[in-house]
Amino acid sequence: MSVETQKQTLGFQTEVKQLLHLMIHSLYSNKEIFLRELISNASDATDKLRFEALARPELLEGGADLKIRVSFDKASKTVTIDDNGIGMSRDEVITHLGTIAKSGTADFLKNLSGDQRKDSHLIGQFGVGFYSAFIVADQVDVFTRRAGLPASEGVHWSSRGEGEFEVATVEKAERGTRIVLHLKPAEEEFADGWRLRNIIKKYSDHIALPIELPKEHYGEEKDKPAEPEWETVNRASALWTRPRTEVKDEEYQEFYKHTAHDFEDPLTWSHNKVEGKLEYTSLLYVPGRAPFDLYHREAPKGLKLYVQRVFIMDQAEQFLPLYLRFIKGVVDSNDLSLNVSREILQKDPVIDSMKSALTKRVLDMLEKLAKDKPEDYKRFWSAFGQVLKEGPAEDFANREKIAGLLRFASTHDATGEQSVSLADYIGRMKEGQDKLYFLTGDSYGQVKNSPHLEVFRKKDIEVLLLTDRIDEWMMSYLSEFDGKQFVDVARGDLDLGKLDSEEDKKAQEEVAKAKESLLERLKGVLADQVAQVRVSHRLTDSPAILAIGEQDLGLQMRQILEASGQKVPESKPIFEINPQHPLIEKLDAEPDEDRFADLSHILFDQAALAAGDSLKDPAAYVQRLNKLLVELSA
Ligand code: ADP
């Protein structure tokens, strides 16, 4: 044992304590993953070393033979994971193995329920990494030295996984990190060559560098070699460099878990080698669920970038558009230079053409998923649909393709779920229908009963119901699909085209003429509030309705802008009446101008309420209504 100096006892950050507690109590049914996590870290550490050594070859200290060694000692009940990667300095040890750097961690931990089954699911989503050592160990010792620092600047970190850890400076001849797990009494089974070999084969076969175990020694104890002989137990080649036909699904899945730090299987993946003017390999995955920080601005996104098999960076964001930020995976280029930086990536035209090719790959992969595995696509949609909806605005060139991937709630689907595709809709279109009708609003419950749907219900025409916050904004970027125009049924002068018969149209014109004086009277009363008053052909049951002007902002966009403190341009709705409705007939026959005005205001306010808007002067509305009620009962 070498001399330890500068000993220090430090407390874990609160979040680490919570995470440790949770992990130990939630992940006991899947204990063996600790090894996957530690090997995954060791592999990342060698990637980092290789990358830093591109600029500073002296970091390799003469040893470029990168590997991971896993050993065990049955007598002392330990398992040891050794790597000759980048290692850590004392400061790095204190931050990396004492805190959690992810943004949103505290919020995430607040969501935990205390229900172990549910929480283990959540914690898998969060990723546990190094701290998973404490699932099987009641004491963990880390010996590490950062490549490039002298042997005297090794660090010993030690903890029992409770509230605190110790750090001390020690001599460490080899660079890299050694992690010694002192197994809990119940976990001694892990100090076993056969067990460790199986776990490595199962979870870490895809790791690109050799993982070695001591060769099993059979026969006489006295013949056992003094130094263990090592043998490589994994395949030790970068998975994405192998031909697709030779990689098993399980291997793709394990590789995903390593790269994405996810615990669950991906929904699907796409592995491609591109040759020709540009040469690169990509392996892209669609995760099975949203990460806890999907909507965090600083949440990690982007692909792992390799250049000729050398790891260059995590989170290379330049290869996919933002609306596909949930995609995980690897891209390995033969054309980029090894000293490529984020700044260079931003300017390089090579990246642009890779980006458009990769974007297309992802969209194709999603199309295929939707076609071949509708149940999985449903899962995809509920996890990432909202993000994909940013697509039409961000990616003009692929609008049509993205639109085909969207899913909607609809008047012709009783589940209320977002499950109808535009292809489904088009397949059900009525004879003579050449438009795609939709309605936006706050909630499914509200739009489903909107008076705007009355005429569509009567004619049995399907209307898509859009109630996500992003929908109105998204639709402002989608004008057509498959050569057919989108029409917001709450907007402008609804023209049903061939869906209205000639007689219908004639009748509408005649009614409009007959009601001209009523329209004039209404305009007089509501002049301040409306842009126009006209006869509606949207309604069958309701007396009146508000339509949005063709160029005006809808309610949803107005509310979003207002909430973000922006000035919203003034716009007045169009007030439409249903001349067949008894209330409108009554209104038309009302000789008393005061009562006419009261009734008009009430109808206008009711139409605003039905549209999901709030009233400018709710008290006045209540007063007028009460006045009428009193008269009625008098
Ligand atoms: P994550 O890997 O998700 O960042 P971990 O808790 O597993 O989270 O590890 C925290 C950090 O500790 C890593 O990001 C890395 O910087 C450092 N680390 C862990 N294991 C090693 C290792 N074997 N060699 C060097 N650094 C390591």
The CATH number of residue 544's host domain is 1.20.120.790
Which H or E run contains 247? none
Please state the length of the chain. 634
Percent with pLDDT over 90 in the chain: 69
Taking residue 91's Cβ as centre, other Cβ atoms within 10 Å add up to 11
Contact at 8 Å (CB) between 556 and 440? yes
Instruction: Decide: residue 138, CB within 10 A, 0-12 exposed, 13-18 middle, 19+ buried.
Output: middle
Dump pLDDT digits (tens) for 528-558: 999 999 999 889 999 999 999 888 888 888 8
Domain identity same for 66 and 182: yes
In a domain, 393, yes or no: no
In a domain, 451, yes or no: yes
Domain identity same for 259 and 367: yes
Domain identity same for 507 and 477: no
DSSP per-residue codes, 478-523: --EETTEEEEETTBSS---GGGS-HHHHHHHHHHHHHTHHHHHHHH
Contact at 8 Å (CB) between 593 and 531? no
Contact at 8 Å (CB) between 532 and 575? yes
CA distances in angstroms from 282 to 240, 342, 433, 550, listed in the order given = 7, 19, 43, 45
Name the domain count of the chain: 4
Domain identity same for 169 and 55: yes
Dump pLDDT digits (tens) for 203-215: 899 899 999 999 9
Q: Decide whether any atom of ligand 1 lies within 6 Å of the 42 Cβ.
A: yes
Q: Which residues contact 580 (CB under 8 A, 6 or more apart)?
A: none
Closest CA to 36 of 201, 189, 248, 190: 201
What one-character DSSP code corresponds to residue 112?
-
Q: How far apart are alpha carbons 499 and 432 in whole angstroms? A: 6
Q: How many CA atoms lie within 13 A of 170 on its CB side?
A: 24
Of 84-88, 113-117, 426-430, 592-596, the range with the lowest mean pLDDT is 113-117
pLDDT at residue 145, rounded to an integer: 98
Domain identity same for 453 and 566: no
Q: How far apart are alpha carbons 572 and 610 in whole angstroms? A: 16
Domain identity same for 140 and 279: no
Closest CA to 233 of 214, 212, 217: 212
What's the pLDDT band for 92 if we cut at 50, 70, 90? very high
Q: Decide whether any atom of ligand 1 lies within 6 Å of the 142 Cβ.
A: no
Taking residue 439's Cβ as centre, other Cβ atoms within 10 Å add up to 23
Atom 14 in ligand 1: residue holding the nearest Cα: 96
Q: How far apart are alpha carbons 16 and 515 in whole angstroms? A: 72
pTM: 0.83
CA angle 433, 572, 628 (to 5 degrees): 100
Tokens of 371: 């076609």
Which residue is listed with tokens 């930086």?
Answer: 341
Contact at 8 Å (CB) between 466 and 392? no
The CATH number for 256's domain is: 3.30.230.80
Taking the centre of ligand 1 as the mean of its atom positions, its distance from the CA of residue 195, in whole angstroms, is 24
Tokens of 542: 């309701």
Q: Decide whether any atom of ligand 1 lies within 6 Å of the 83 Cβ.
A: yes
Q: Decide whether any atom of ligand 1 lies within 6 Å of the 316 Cβ.
A: no
Tokens of 187: 């976990």
224 pLDDT more than 90: no
Q: Decide whether any atom of ligand 1 lies within 6 Å of the 85 Cβ.
A: yes
Taking the centre of ligand 1 as the mean of its atom positions, its distance from the CA of residue 320, in whole angstroms, is 26
Contact at 8 Å (CB) between 525 and 597? yes
In a domain, 401, yes or no: no
Q: Decide whether any atom of ligand 1 lies within 6 Å of the 41 Cβ.
A: yes
Beta bridge partners of 10: 165
Taking the centre of ligand 1 as the mean of its atom positions, its distance from the CA of residue 96, in whole angstroms, is 6
β-pairing verdict for 409-410 and 464-466: antiparallel
Taking the centre of ligand 1 as the mean of its atom positions, its distance from the CA of residue 339, in whole angstroms, is 23
Give residue 471's identity as a one-letter amino acid code.
D
In a domain, 397, yes or no: no
What's the pLDDT band for 29 if we cut at 50, 70, 90? confident
617 pLDDT more than 80: yes
Better-scored residue on pLDDT, 114 or 610: 610
Of 23-32, 96-105, 283-292, 306-315, the range with the lowest mean pLDDT is 23-32
Atom 22 in ligand 1: residue holding the nearest Cα: 42
β-pairing verdict for 409-410 and 230-232: unpaired
Q: Decide whether any atom of ligand 1 lies within 6 Å of the 547 Cβ.
A: no
Strand order in the sheet with 310-316: 268-274, 280-286, 328-333, 303-307, 310-316
148 pLDDT more than 70: yes
pLDDT at residue 349, rounded to an integer: 87
Taking the centre of ligand 1 as the mean of its atom positions, its distance from the CA of residue 62, in whole angstroms, is 24
DSSP H helical ranges for 174-333: 193-204, 249-260
Contact at 8 Å (CB) between 465 and 447? yes
Beta bridge partners of 79: 72, 181
In a domain, 193, yes or no: yes
Atom 1 in ligand 1: residue holding the nearest Cα: 129
Helix (H, G, I), strand (E, B) or coil at 169: strand
pLDDT at residue 599, rounded to an integer: 94
pLDDT at residue 628, rounded to an integer: 87
Closest CA to 311 of 38, 142, 66, 63: 66
CA distances in angstroms from 61 to 89, 211, 215, listed in the order given = 16, 21, 27
Beta bridge partners of 283: 271, 330
- Sign of dihedral through CA atoms 489, 493, 495, 496? positive
Q: Which of 186, 217, 237 corresponds to the end of one domain?
A: 237
Average pLDDT over every residue of 350-375: 96
- For the CA of 130, the closest atom of ligand 1 is 7
Contact at 8 Å (CB) between 571 and 552? yes
In a domain, 386, yes or no: no
Q: Decide whether any atom of ligand 1 lies within 6 Å of the 127 Cβ.
A: yes
pLDDT at residue 455, rounded to an integer: 92
Domain identity same for 15 and 162: yes
pLDDT at residue 356, rounded to an integer: 95
The per-residue pLDDT of the chain, averaged, comes to 91
The CATH number for 171's domain is: 3.30.565.10
pLDDT at residue 154, rounded to an integer: 97
320 pLDDT more than 90: yes
pLDDT at residue 298, rounded to an integer: 80
Domain identity same for 280 and 365: yes
Of 73-82, 168-177, 203-212, the range with the lowest mean pLDDT is 203-212
Domain identity same for 165 and 225: yes
Beta bridge partners of 212: 69, 232
1 pLDDT more than 70: no
pLDDT at residue 85, rounded to an integer: 97
- For the CA of 176, the closest atom of ligand 1 is 24
Find the domain containing 578 and state its range: 502-633
231 pLDDT more than 90: yes
220 pLDDT more than 80: no
Better-scored residue on pLDDT, 302 or 499: 302
Contact at 8 Å (CB) between 356 and 397? yes
In a domain, 436, yes or no: yes
15 pLDDT more than 60: yes
Dump pLDDT digits (tens) for 563-581: 888 888 888 999 999 999 9
Taking the centre of ligand 1 as the mean of its atom positions, its distance from the CA of residue 98, in whole angstroms, is 11
Domain identity same for 484 and 510: no
pLDDT at residue 62, rounded to an integer: 77
Domain identity same for 220 and 289: no
In a domain, 49, yes or no: yes
Closest CA to 463 of 493, 433, 498: 433
pLDDT at residue 222, rounded to an integer: 73
What's the pLDDT band for 64 if we cut at 50, 70, 90? confident
pLDDT at residue 612, rounded to an integer: 81
pLDDT at residue 589, rounded to an integer: 94
Q: Which of 180, 203, 237 corresponds to the end of one domain?
A: 237
Dump pLDDT digits (tens) for 395-446: 999 999 999 999 999 999 999 999 999 999 999 999 999 999 999 998 998 8
DSSP per-residue codes, 277-323: SS-EEEEEEE-SS--TTTT-TT---SEEEEETTEEEEEEEGGGS-GG
The CATH number for 439's domain is: 3.40.50.11260
Average pLDDT over every residue of 466-473: 94
pLDDT at residue 563, rounded to an integer: 83
C-alpha 540 chain-centroid distance: 42
Average pLDDT over every residue of 315-320: 94
Q: Which residues contact 61 (CB under 8 A, 6 or more apart)?
A: 147, 175
Q: Which of 362, 378, 394 corresponds to the end of one domain?
A: 378
Domain identity same for 90 and 228: yes
Dump pLDDT digits (tens) for 483-540: 999 999 999 888 787 788 888 888 888 888 889 999 999 999 999 999 999 999 889 9
- Sign of dihedral through CA atoms 538, 541, 547, 553? negative
